[in-house]
Structure 1
């Protein structure tokens, strides 16, 4: 099982969650579209040559963001990340994936 974590502006969090779910992420037994979200502040400074969704090059930006986490079957993880990236408004979304152990793995 892979855990996918992505940081999205609050304004697009539902679209990002929906893209992950449509690609098969967030399935646990008889449940689908499962995810966890936590609010926070995303901070970045676009450099020269960047085309940011928010802000402008050279100026620090603070955005109301949501950390979205969901699990995904190994076979579906790459497609789920690709779907998430396609739905995400940022030029360079912050995300990471890691392997999770389940009871069956222990």
Structure 2
């Protein structure tokens, strides 16, 4: 008996101010992220501290242009089918409170 080939899964890693983590994850799940086999709304979330200095014409949600800011953030990781990358990244940008969210997408190696 042969297995039906599955679409490759990629991983989104994003830094979110802690008070916004639930809302961002909800948007990502609605876009198809966080599904692994028969499991839904899967995510790994760890707390940490982010830092940034807005410069130039930045319009920061948190902080002041020119000043170094430290923020309690969560690092969230979710998987998603590679074909949904555009939808997932668009959902992230709409739901994330930062003008420029910090994130990266990793392609999983093929089996």
TM-score computed with the length of structure 2 as normaliser: 0.90
Deviations 1:66-105 (A, max 9, x none): 001010001112101110110000000000001113xxx3
Counterpart selection for 2:76 from 51, 68, 91: 68
Does residue 94 of structure 1 match 2:102?
yes
* Count of residue pairs the alignment pairs up: 103
Counterpart position of 1:12: 20
Unaligned 5+ segments in structure 2 are 1-8
Matches within 5 A, 1:1-106: 1-101=9-109, 105-106=110-111
Q: CA deviation at 1:30?
A: 1.1
Cα RMSD between the aligned structures? 0.8
Structure 1 unpaired stretches of 5+? none
- TM-score scaled by structure 1? 0.94
Q: CA deviation at 1:54?
A: 0.4
